[in-house]
Every structure is written in C-alpha cells, then in structure tokens.
Amino acid sequence: MSLKQLFRQPMLRAMLGRQHIQALRSMTTQSDKVLVDLDPKTGVAVVQMNRPPVNSLNLEFLSDINNTLDKLHNDKSCRGLILTSSNNKVFCAGLDIMEMYQPQTDRLTEFWKTLQNVWMNLYGSRLATIAAINGHSPAGGCLLATCCDYRIMVQNFTIGLNETQLGIIPPFWFVDSMEGVVGYRQTELACQKGLMMTTDQASKIGLVDEVVTPEVVLQKAQNEMVSWLKIPDYARQLTKSQMKMPNINKLRARRDEDVQHFVNFITKDSVQQALGFYIENLKKKAKK
Ligand SMILES: CC/C=C\CCC/C=C/C(=O)SCCNC(=O)CCNC(=O)[C@H](O)C(C)(C)COP(=O)(O)OP(=O)(O)OC[C@H]1O[C@@H](n2cnc3c(N)ncnc32)[C@H](O)[C@@H]1OP(=O)(O)O
C-alpha cells in the first residue's frame, strides 16, 4: 500500500485525527537527510540533521534544510523549531570542505547562494528556534547554532568559528551572528584566533545558554520551548525581527558581492593549498 493510500484509510484517520495526518504527511515528504517531527499539539518541530558521517553541509543538504524551513514556515500550526542532530557526537561539522576544494565555479556559486538562503531563513525565522547542540559544532555548525534564539549544548564537545585555522575567513554575516550572541570583544577574540571552545568555555562567554548531559538535551530544549511559546507570537516575532532585520538587510544588500568575493577567495591557489593540507590532516586524523 502506498503512503497516499495509507493516509486515506478511514481507520487511521479516525485514530489519529486530521492534524496528526497532516503532520505525518509533511514528515514523510521530507528528505531523509533532514528528519522532521512536528507535534500537532504543541506546534513544535524537532528537526534532526541526518547526513552521515558528520552532517557536513553540501549543496544538496543545504537545499534540503532550506526546503524544510520553508515548509515549516508555511505551516500555520508550527510555532517552534528545535534543531538537533541524529549523530550524538557531531551536531554539524560545518561546510562540506569538499565543496570548496577544487570546485566547479557554477556549483560553488550555487552552494554559497544556498547557504546565504539558509542563514536568512533560519536567522530570520518567524518560529522560536532552539539549537539542541548534541555534539561538536565547528564553523558552519556554529553558524546554524548562532542563528537560533537559544542554545543548549551537551557537555564535553566543542563549538566555534574556526575558519582562520583553515586559512579561510569567516564571512561578515557569520561574524554578525556570533556578535549578536556574545558581543564584539568575544567575537573578535573567537574569530581572529579561530577558537574552538569547550562547552564550558562557550557557556562562560554566553555562546551557549545551558550546558547539559546528553540524555536530557532534547527534554531541556522542549521545556525551554514551552516558556518561549507562552509569549504571544506576534509580540515575540516583531521583537525578533526588529533585532535581526538589520543584519539580514545588510547581507541582502551585499548578496552578489558576497558571492563573488567568496568564489574569488576560495579559488585562489594559496587558499586551495591551505584547504588541501587541512583535508589531508582531517583524513589522517580520521584513520588513526
Ligand atoms: C571569503 C569567505 C571565505 C570562506 C568562507 C568559508 C566559511 C567556511 C565555513 C566552514 O564551515 S569550513 C568547515 C569547517 N569544519 C571543520 O573544520 C570541521 C572539521 N572536522 C572535524 O573537526 C571533525 O571531523 C569533527 C567534526 C570534530 C568530528 O570528528 P570525528 O572524530 O567524529 O569524525 P572524523 O574527524 O573522523 O570525520 C569523519 C569523516 O568526515 C570527514 N569530515 C569531517 N568534517 C568534514 C567537513 N567539514 N567537510 C567534509 N568532510 C568532513 C572526515 O574527513 C572523515 O572522512 P573520512 O572518513 O573519509 O576520512
């Protein structure tokens, strides 16, 4: 029996009700790289990144994340989003470095535009967003976390914008996202030195709001979400938008320039060489 036929079964409809069928339907039309569980009672969607081995963000995965965000934004029953990972050691390893190493210009351009879209969509989301950071979260992973309204992180992992360690530069909107969370001075220290912080260090500077054990991270995120959803949506959303729109507008105004800058920078011989060394070291470390 196809899923379409299954959803039409009167027994199932009677047992679950219309709302739940709709939620099930939207769950099953998602990609297998982004798992969505939208609870029709609370309006909270748990979104799990699921691209083994480390949730690195390639073009297709970014598109899937974007489509998921669009779907949830268009679903009036959805009010909150918890972003987490199906891998309990890595929240997200950041951008897929292979997208930037020896790239085709067209794909590299598309890749960067899609990342810009994900950032604008998540940073400016109408939903209350909580990152349940259940593993390491370097660079682009840290970016996703700082797009959210609240961060709960499992102890003994690392997080940060480590781009300079790879010989690349965190774009201004990565920096703006972090600055919005920890302020100018801590961002300056963290970004220039490419610091990967332990959960405790991140907590000290306010990069994460709570440090928890792995067993409770999702429950803590759900509990925190309850308090966010007690606030009337329009008041919370307008307050959020008032604070986030200046950064979104800044990227909107410089989008094409930012793409061009990225493509020019990444395709430089010196940057390709630095990325090559970094990948070699990652592979050596993975083999050990
Ligand atoms: C002008 C502007 C210019 C440029 C802006 C660019 C902005 C860039 C942003 C980024 O996000 S760059 C990516 C930064 N990410 C990292 O540096 C993370 C690197 N990875 C790690 O540190 C670790 O892998 C880990 C995330 C801590 C997980 O460690 P673990 O021990 O669990 O896994 P392992 O290291 O063995 O990796 C498994 C497997 O995955 C590959 N891998 C890891 N990270 C990436 C990645 N980001 N992209 C692609 N592939 C990645 C790794 O090589 C292993 O592969 P293998 O099994 O084939 O050897």
The verdict on residue 192 lying in a domain is: yes
Give catalytic residues, as residue numbers: 95, 140, 162-163
- Cβ–ligand 1 distance for 97 under 6 Å, the answer yes
Beta strands across the sheet bearing 80-85: 34-39, 44-49, 80-85, 128-133, 150-154, 210-212
Cβ atoms of 177 and 247 closer than 8 Å: yes
pTM (2 d.p.): 0.92
Q: What is the CATH number of the domain that holds 177?
A: 3.90.226.10
- Cβ–ligand 1 distance for 196 under 6 Å, the answer no
pLDDT for position 30: 62
The verdict on residue 270 lying in a domain is: yes
For each of the chain's 288 residues, which pLDDT tens digit applies? 333 344 444 444 444 444 444 444 444 446 899 999 999 999 999 999 999 999 999 999 999 999 999 999 999 999 999 999 999 999 999 999 999 999 999 999 999 999 999 999 999 999 999 999 999 999 999 999 999 999 999 999 999 999 999 999 999 999 999 999 999 999 999 999 999 999 999 999 999 999 999 999 999 999 999 999 999 999 999 999 999 999 999 999 999 999 999 999 999 999 999 999 999 999 999 988
Q: Which residues pair with 140 in a beta bridge?
A: none
pLDDT for position 11: 44
pLDDT for position 221: 98
| Residue span of the structural domain in which 93 resides | 31-287
C-alpha separations of 16 from 10, 41, 54 in Å? 10, 12, 35
The verdict on residue 1 lying in a domain is: no
ipTM of the predicted assembly exceeds 0.95: yes
Compute, in angstroms, the gap from residue 284 CA to the centroid of ligand 1: 12
Ligand 1 pocket mutation pick from 55, 282, 283, 287 by most atoms within 8 angstroms of CB = 282
The verdict on residue 220 lying in a domain is: yes
By alpha-carbon position, which residue is closest to atom 20 of ligand 1?
93
